[in-house]
Chains A and B, each alone.
Chain A
Amino acid sequence: AQSVSQHNHHVILSEAASLELGCNYSYGGTVNLFWYVQYPGQHLQLLLKYFSGDPLVKGIKGFEAEFIKSKFSFNLRKPSVQWSDTAEYFCAVNNYGQNFVFGPGTRLSVLP
């Protein structure tokens, strides 16, 4: 069965700091990878996704993620965070149309 782990439960950063959120998945086959964000009181929104091709994918709001197949990882990065990035971030795996498996989430708090 697929599973997704996220390295940090809660990350606290100051504005302008760089961000990297870890995500590892367990599945032997080919998967699609996603990062979703949930701002306080709002619904889940897609940040970025990887299906194939260039393993460095760029998403909305300056976020990017790198797929490293050998490490089963899909880490999310942003060079300079803003207070408005305060949210919960979820990594998810999908096996070609089957249901998504989400990680437990990482809460990001950005201090102004």
Chain B
Amino acid sequence: DTGVSQDPRHKITKRGQNVTFRCDPISEHNRLYWYRQTLGQGPEFLTYFQNEAQLEKSRLLSDRFSAERPKGSFSTLEIQRTEQGDSAMYLCASSQGGDGYTFGSGTRLTVV
């Protein structure tokens, strides 16, 4: 499979716990994006990387959120001290330059 893969597909966690998601982009894509999607809404931008550099972060990305892409390949998104409002689908996408994204299937987070 040469698409964008995300792991895990589903995560249920208790409020206050930390969670980490992984995204493996298409190998030749230099840009990697994280989005969050809640029910009935379009994806909302969180952050993006060009190679290993994190170039932009949304105001949605509070201090509890951190993203890394250490070698310019896969990326991780960590949420510390999860809150119920963090429940959403977390989407990863990659692109080569500014062309259309290829999205992964997402990680659905449920905070109970």
Contacts and interface: CB of A to CB of B under 8 A. Distances in A.
Contact of B45 (A36, A42, A44, A99): A99
B33 interface: yes
Given A42-B105, A105-B41, A99 B100 contact: no
Given A44-B103, A45-B103, A105-B40, A99 B98 contact: no
Contacts, number: 51
Contacts of A36: 103
A25 interface: no
Nearest to A97: B98
Interface range on chain B (Cβ under 8 Å from partner): 20 to 34
Contact of A102 (B43, B58, B98, B104): B43
A67 B57 CA distance: 29
A56 interface: no
A92 B91 CA distance: 15
Interface of B: 31, 33, 40-45, 48, 56, 58, 91, 93, 97-106
